[in-house]
Amino acid sequence: MDDKLNVTYLTIGGYIEVNKYRFLYFFLILALYILIILSNSIIVYLIWRHENLHEPMYVFIAALSVNSLLYSTAILPKFLIDFLSDKRIISYQACLFQYFLFYTLGGAEFLLLAAMAYDRYVSICKPLLYPTIMTKRTVTILLFLAWFLSGSQVAVSVVISSNQKLCQFTLKTIFCNNSVFKLHCKTSRVNSIYGIIVLTNILALPVLFIFFTYAKILLITYRSSKDLRKKAAETCLPHVLVLVSFSVLCVYNIITARVDLNFPKVVHLIMSLQVVLYNPLLNPIIYGAKMKEINRHLRKLFCHVKESQYN
């Protein structure tokens, strides 16, 4: 506690000592972060640049890429600074802000994926109504709700936590997640119940909606033509891969933040980093490789870059 400034500082205790390999690991994580920025920025640029990609499905993909950029930026810059520092601390206020960004953007990811599932359902199952249902206004509302619903609910949890007295000042993680509740002198029953409600709203319900939507799509395409089944597979498979990978990592993060598991510190470190790195790296690869139109524009862009270098 800094009495002069009335600021409470927390020690981030989830790091392991890597000694002489510190700079190697630092540059490796930095390279991955730069790759996240470049790959997601390219996807956003391609969708913004080409009019034939101004369809709802691609707009949602661009939104996912923007969300991935913000998600990794909420954690990685601070992580890289702490990795080379001997004094790894963060103010309680900054910790709550990082907590807010982490769960807001994580929840927005699931809500954006749910919006994409709805778009695919309308496109494949009700193609004649698609232009009248998935208008620009509908897409804008869905994008707004994805971030607003997630952020507004997480904000309430932050306000409740900000009024709690701290009895411990060392986090056992590398960034601020639900483990911040373990620092409180008393476990807040209100916050625990509210946390379950938020988790249901921004994770469980979107995932259930996505599975229900895809079950309907599979049922309809199974009875339809081969071309429709192929279209459904091409557009839905990347979506499923992103959903499954992100869900598994989020469930791990929630369980370890709430329950004391006897995993080695190095395992916690690697898994925590995967939560932040895996999806922001995976999204542009999956959508760039599997979505035909994006892949076509991506190859054109690289060919143009190569020609420019030779000229």
Mean per-residue pLDDT for 260-279?
77
CB 215 within 8 A of CB 139: no
Cα-to-chain-centroid distance, residue 297: 25
Q: What is the pLDDT of residue 310?
A: 58
pLDDT at 48 over 80: yes
Give, in order, the Cα–Cα distances in Å from 4 to each of 1, 8, 88. 9, 11, 21
pTM above 0.75, yes or no: yes
pLDDT band at 311 (very low <50, low <70, confident <90, very high): low
How far is 137 from 252, CA to CA, in rounded Å? 36
Q: What is the pLDDT of residue 3?
A: 46
Nearest to 290 by CA among 251, 247, 235, 245: 235
Count the residues in the chain. Answer: 311
Lowest-confidence region among 12-21, 57-66, 199-208, 223-232: 223-232
Dump the DSSP string for the chain: -BTTTTB-EEEE------GGGHHHHHHHHHHHHHHHHHHHHHHHHHHHH-GGG-SHHHHHHHHHHHHHHHHHHTTHHHHHHHHH-SS-EEEHHHHHHHHHHHHHHHHHHHHHHHHHHHHHHHHHH-TTTHHHHS-HHHHHHHHHHHHHHHHHHHHHHHHHHHTSPBS--EESSSS-SGGGGGGBSS--HHHHHHHHHHHIIIIIHHHHHHHHHHHHHHHHHHTS-HHHHHHHHHHHHHHHHHHHHHHHHHHHHHHHHHS-----HHHHHHHHHHHHHHHHHHHHHHHHHH-HHHHHHHHHHHHHHHHHHH-
pLDDT in tens, 127-160: 889 999 999 999 999 999 999 999 999 999 898 8
Tell me the angle at which helices 226-258 and 92-125 cross, rounded to the nearest 10 degrees.
Answer: 160
pLDDT at 12 over 90: no
pLDDT in tens, 167-215: 888 888 888 888 888 888 887 778 888 888 998 999 889 989 988 888 8
Lowest-confidence region among 13-22, 192-201, 224-233: 224-233
Nearest to 43 by CA among 298, 230, 227, 279: 298
Angle at 71 between CA 297 and CA 274, to 5 degrees: 90
Q: What is the pLDDT of residue 65?
A: 92
Q: What is the pLDDT of residue 205?
A: 93
The residue among 246 and 80 whose pLDDT is bigger is 80
Percent of the chain exceeding pLDDT 70 equals 88
The residue among 125 and 60 whose pLDDT is bigger is 60
Q: What is the pLDDT of residue 4?
A: 46
From the number of C-beta atoms within 10 Å of its C-beta (0-12, 13-18, 19+), residue 131 rates as exposed
How far is 150 from 85, CA to CA, in rounded Å? 33
pLDDT in tens, 86-109: 788 899 999 999 999 999 999 999
Percent of the chain exceeding pLDDT 90 equals 29
pLDDT band at 11 (very low <50, low <70, confident <90, very high): confident
Q: What is the pLDDT of residue 188?
A: 74
Return mean pLDDT, the chain: 83
Lowest-confidence region among 17-21, 247-251, 307-311: 307-311
How far is 37 from 73, CA to CA, in rounded Å? 9
10 forms beta bridges with 90
How far is 291 from 52, CA to CA, in rounded Å? 13
Q: Domains (ranges, CATH) in the chain? A: 9-310 (1.20.1070.10)
Q: What is the pLDDT of residue 307?
A: 60
Q: What is the pLDDT of residue 260?
A: 63
pLDDT at 283 over 70: yes
